[in-house]
Chains A and B, each alone.
Chain A
Amino acid sequence: MVLEAADQAAVRALWLKLGSNVGVYTTEALERTFLAFPSTKTYFLHLDLSPGSAQVRAHGQKVADALTLAVDHLDDLPGALSALRELHAHKLRVDPVKFKLLVHCLLVTLARHYPGDFSPSLQASLDKFLSHVISALVPNCH
């Protein structure tokens, strides 16, 4: 399933605005996820999760790069994210529900930093985009 044209345009426009700060927001989203949903920490026993951790920042940047890759390949998310799908499903074995928690915290973070831009339509487009990303990452996700 491919994202509709209007949603694609909205997401691309936002990503242009975020510029090189995507990593800042994904890092904040990770911090929020760990605090609000402590069960997510069970997947990160190898990282220092204390506030301001450089390891969380590094992981945030990885997430940012993956999302930017997704934005650049909106017409073929499964193809673009196939390596990450393999990783998350077979090596990391993350419960699919956890991705939704991170997505929610990313929306919270963006709403916090860009309240003027965060219209209901943009929220809807982002929600759909990120749902497509989750579907591309998780083989059996529904």
Chain B
Amino acid sequence: MVHFTAEEKAAITSLWGKVNVEEAGGEALGRLLVVYPWTQRFFDSFGNLSSPSAIMGNPKVKAHGKKVLTSFGDAVKNMDNLKGAFAKLSELHCDKLHVDPENFRLLGNVMVIILASHFGREFTPELQAAWQKLVAGVATALAHKYH
């Protein structure tokens, strides 16, 4: 189980409050699909994913990215019980969506990169370390119910 100090929780929550979830969600999912093209395997129904600009401009990518990142907001609110918070989503990703949990780690790291590009100086090494703990915890929680 991941343990966050009070400072880490406060720092994470404070940064999250400044994130435009809709924009960041689309950007995160888009970059995942551009940088790690094999992840497109889950999105055959999304239409045009033929180039970086097609992917980043694709409305389905943006909409789904927003959904994913909104759900990530639950992680920020439940840092002490990530496994509980993501139990249902874990079952969904295993039983219905059949997503390799490695993808959760990839997306988590893409999110950290986006936070760095948006928040610049504010995204100190300490803040990054806290966020790495969170994205790793979310990835583990999402993989927890796999069988």
Interface residues of A (CB under 8 A from B): 28, 31-32, 35-37, 104-105, 107-109, 111-113, 115, 118-121, 123-124, 127
Q: Name the one of B55, B126, B132 contacting A37, with C-beta atoms under 8 angstroms.
A: B132
Complex contact A120–B55 (CB within 8 A): yes
Q: Which residues of the partner chain A approach B117 to less than 8 Å between Cβ atoms?
A: 111-112, 115, 118
Contact code string B107-119 (vs A, CB < 8 Å = 1, else 0): 0010011101111
When A104-B109, A108-B112, A120-B34 are in contact, do A35 and B123 touch as well, CB less than 8 Å?
A: no
In contact, A108 and B31 (Cβ under 8 angstroms)? no
Q: Which residues of A contact B121 (CB under 8 A)?
A: 112
Complex Cα distance A105/B126, Å? 12
Shortest Cβ distance from B132 into A: residue: A36
Contact of A35 with B114 at beta-carbon distance under 8 Å, contacts A119-B52, A121-B52, A123-B34 already known: no
Rounded to whole angstroms, the CA-CA distance of A121 and B54 in the bound complex is 12
Beta-carbon contact of A108 and B34 below 8 Å: no
A-B contact pairs, 23 of them (CB 8 A): A32-B125, A32-B129, A35-B126, A36-B132, A37-B132, A108-B113, A108-B116, A109-B116, A111-B116, A111-B117, A112-B116, A112-B117, A112-B121, A115-B118, A115-B120, A119-B52, A120-B30, A120-B55, A121-B34, A121-B52, A123-B31, A123-B35, A127-B36
Which of B34, B125, B126 gathers most chain A CB within 10 Å?
B125
With both chains docked as a complex, state the minimum distance between the C-beta of A128 and any C-beta of chain B, in angstroms: 9
Chain B residue contacts of A35, Cβ below 8 A? 125-126, 128-129
* B56 in contact (CB, < 8 A): yes
Complex Cα–Cα for A65 and B34 (A): 29
B112 contacts A112, C-beta separation under 8 Å? no
- The complex places the Cα of A32 from the Cα of B109 at a distance, in Å, of 13
Chain B, residue nearest A109 (CB):
B116
**Distance to closest chain A CB from B56 (angstroms):** 6
Contacts of A28 in B (CB 8 A): 125
Decide if A120 touches B113 in the complex (CB within 8 Å): no
Q: Shortest beta-carbon distance, B38 to chain A, in Å?
A: 12
- Alpha-carbon distance between A39 and B116 when the two chains are bound, in angstroms: 22
